[in-house]
Structures are given as C-alpha cells and as structure tokens.
Structure 1
Amino acid sequence: MNQHLTISFPNSITVSIKREDLIHPFVSGNKFRKLKYNLLQAKKEHKDTLLTFGGAYSNHIAAVAYAGQENGFRTIGIIRGDELESKIAENPTLQFAKNCGMEFKFVSREEYRNKQETLFLENLKSIYGNFFLIPEGGTNELAIKGCQEILTPVDSQFDYICCSVGTGGTISGIINSALPHQKVLGFPALKGDFLKDEIRIFAQNKNWELITDYHFGGYGKINEELIAFINQFYQENKIPLDPIYTGKMVFGVMDRIATNHFPSHSKILLIHTGGIQGIQGMNLKLKKKKLPTLDIHV
C-alpha cells in the first residue's frame, strides 16, 4: 500500500501516512494482516469454525465475522459484557458481525477474564466443537508473521515508523521487519507499561520505544480535544482517523513534532491501522454524553 499523504513541517521534517486502512473495505489495516496466516492455518488444519473474543465495538470481531464469511468459515464471537445480548440492534459493530453470520456468546466481564484458561476453553469446545482459536485482538505468532509484511522496501527511506498499540501484535511485526537505521515508536491506546512485556514475547529487535502519554485516559477514552483534532485532520487531509487507535497516535506524533522531539530532517512514517468501522458506535456514545461527534463520512 503506497503512502497517500506527505506533510512537510519546519526543520525539514516530513510525515507520510501508509494507508493500511485501504487494504480491504471490511477487513482493513492490521486486522487483514493478522488474519491472513491464521485463516490459511485454519484451512490447513481442516477446521470449519473460527472462535474469537472481543468487546462491544471490537474491530477484530467485525473483521473475523466478515473474513470468516468470505472464506467459508462458521464464526463464533465470545463477547465481553452479558448486558449486550439484548442490545445487538443498537450496536453497529455487533449488528454487522451478526449480518455476516457470526454467532455470539455473551459472558460477564468476570467470566471473560478466564478466556485463556483451559477449563473455559474446554467448555467452549464442548459447545462449539473443535474450532480454530484466534486470540482477542488476533495477536499470535501467525499474526506477527502477517504484520511483518506491513513494511516494504519502499519504506526504507524513513527514520521513524509510528503506529498505535493495542495488544502489541502489529508493532511486534513492524519491529521485526524494520531496518537497523529505523526507530519504531508505539503509541498505546491503553494505560500502563504491561505492553512492553507482551511485545518482547514476539519482537526480536530492540529498535523500539513506547510513547505512553497519549492514551487520553485509557482504552476507549476520548475527549473534546481529540475529537476536534480528528475532525480538523479529516477536513484538511480527507483521511479518516479512528478515535481508539490511529487518532491518538497521529495526535501524539503531531504533538511531539511541535515540541521538538524529532531531529531536523526526520522522515516519519505513520501506519494507519484501520478501525474506521468503530466511528459509528463511538458517535452513538458521544451523543448520549452530549459531546461533539466525529464529523467523518466514510
């Protein structure tokens, strides 16, 4: 995917955006990369069912549902929050996944924490059969393999590679494929330093750093400043940013440029990891809170 925008700044700093969100209309960005080899492995193992986990507005749930339908798999989504079972029609993400044929099992937040426990998974197998398991967010070794394909030889010109961080899978693949002269900067959408340990499981190189100042209060949290930034960015550049991941990363990069964190003549590449499907659901939440909405049309 070619870069679709380059912005010039003082001190001869340039920022380019790699539009991974345009890879596929429904399985966009890092979700396409993460699922690519998982789907191939599921077929190799002759599995006909994909089972995975996610929350109310999960990009991953939407992507697995569509990719499963497109590739002939039955799909099962274990959804965090049993109160959501009666609210599918009010939730654009879950309604989309349902329309793609995904079957849901809604569990309490307490029960959801057991999603990696053997007993919990054995119980699911007794219900759904011998499924192919894809972890929450899609991160596993096969996902890392796919994310290692995000950077291509044309990207060797860049000094800094920046991406948002959720489960750590995408940045791990980028770290593994980045060149020695490149620094990978991750912008977590969640609070806390625990992601460093997750990334070290998969990342082979040490050419990376997490910038933890731009989570806006934690996962799924946004404020009027971030909304205004995303809206202005869209008006000026006609590129939609999602408020959970990429919007926070782009805000962080622009802020760090303004505060002179990058050397003169730096060439910075931003990875747009998709997630645009979540905007509709976020706007519903913002309206309920009587906050400004994201004025993005996709």
Structure 2
Amino acid sequence: MTGLLALLDDVAAIARVAAASVDDVFGQAVKASTKAAGAVIDDAAVTPKYVHGFSADRELPIVWKIAKGSLFNKLVILLPIALLLSVFAPWLIAPLLMLGGAYLCFEGAEKVFHAINPADHTVEEVYKEKLKDAHLEESKVQGAIKTDFILSAEIMTITLAALPPDMGLAMTAASLAIAGVIITIAVYGAVALIVKADDVGIRMAAAGNAAITRHIGSWIVKGMPWVMKILVVVGTAAMIWVGGSIIVHGADELGFHAPYDVIHSIAVNAAQAVPPSLEGFVEWFVTAALDGVIGLVLGLLLIPIVTKVILPIASIFTGKQAAHS
C-alpha cells in the first residue's frame, strides 16, 4: 500500500511538473508572439486586399484557404528551419532578422512612395483587368500565401529570438508551434471579421427590427472603407517601425552600437522632460519614431536597388518579367 501511495505521489508530482511546463510553454509563446506585433498587424492589414472583389459567398472560403496555407508555412516549413537555426546556427538569427527587417522597411517605404507618386493605372483598374482571369481565385490565394510566407518567416524568427535560449528543443518547438497557431488565428480571425463586416452592416441596415440596429448597420457600411484605409496606414507604419527596430537592434547585437545608443539617449532625454507618469510612454514613442525614420530611409534606399538590380537578376533565373507591385 505504501508503495502504491508513493507511486501515486510520484505520478502527481510528474503531472504538476508537466502542467507547469505546459503553462510555461504557453506563457512563453504568448509573450514571444507580442514581439512580432508589427509584422502581425501588417499581415492582418495586407490580407483583406486578396479577398476584395469576390462575391460574398466566396470571401470566407478564400480566407480559410489562406489561413490553412499560413499554418502550413509556419508549422511544416518554417518551424523545422527555426529549430535547426537555434541548434546549429544561432549566430544566423540576428542577420536573418535584419534581412527580414530590411524587407519590411522596403515594403513599407514602397507603399509610402506609391502613395506620394501613384502609378498611371489605379489599383482598381488593374484589378478589373485581372478579373478576366478564369483562375483569379486560385492565383489570389497563392499570391496571399506567398506574401504570408515572407511575413510568417519574419514572425517566427522574431518569436524564436524572443524565447529564452535555455528552454530546450522540445519546449522551444512547442512554444513556436503555439505562437504560430495563436498568431494565425488572431490574424485570419480579424481578416474574416473585416471582410464580412460590410455584409453584416448591410443586413442590419436593411432588416433590423429596431431603428438603432438599422442605424448601426448603416454606420458600419459607411465606416468600413475608412477602417480599410486606417488598416493600410497602420500596417504600413507598423512595417516601417518594426523593420527599423529590427535593423537597429540587430546592428547593436552585431557590434555596431551607434544607432541604438543615439536613439536610446534621445528617448531617455525626452522622457526626462515630461512628468514621471508619461516617461515610459514618451521613451517608447520617441524610440519607435526614430526607429521608423531609420526604417523609412533604409526602405527608400532599397527601392531602386530591389527594382533595378535584384528583380531583373531574379527574372533571369525565374524566366518571369521583373515586376513588383
């Protein structure tokens, strides 16, 4: 009997350790996921454009296809790569983060550039021409999954860098997997709400029993175009800020301390000039703003390099005409 009680006590102890490990993994996954907030916001802001223009009954199936592709990107392709990096080449994480950060800076700066210098053909005109393609839905889904792969790679790399280095391989894998699932649900749940909000608003405005319901529905319909515009602005700002921040921190980690030290000094001095209750916010805001300035400048410098050098070279190997939108 004593042996049985001892065995049960050991089992209970193991269960408590396992439960604590699960809590730790989940906690680390959530904490690490927040580090990738900028890329997550951009992912949520970018995806709705791939659904725009389709009939209402195809919107959610398309979002679901893209979400499944995103999970495949994160869990089947990127997770093993991240684990291999953490074990065999942890020194590559910072340079890869900086490469991804440079991509975010480029994409964000290109959006700013096109907003200031719009092309001859509007996005709507180009889109109407593409509607003639019988395989539009599949091509749109594949395009969204490819874009998601780049953003997911950045998200997973940021998440990996935010995890404690002594977690162990199994817990690191579990944390990355949980973070990937959480982020995917958050992003594509938000996308689903965004793309269906106008349909909900139309139904409320047309069939609401109460006047307040009809008014709310009308406000939703009128407000969604503004919400989409705000999302584009927020997503662009998030890309530039996060990309600049990654570049600054990566350079500091690789031994080039000047940008980080200067930004930190300016932010601290600015925070000391305001009441204590605002110090934390002001220091964060100034840091984010200066990171964003660096990200924007770097992105603008990368535009001619990417469009005039990298894409033409890539087209030689892919056989496709160099173009970037």
Q: Compute the TM-score of the two structures, normalised by the length of structure 1.
A: 0.24
Q: TM-score, normalised by structure 2?
A: 0.23
Choose between structure 1 and 2: higher strand proportion. 1
Quick one: higher RCO (CA 8 Å, sep 6+), 1 or 2? 2
Q: Which has the higher helix share?
A: 2
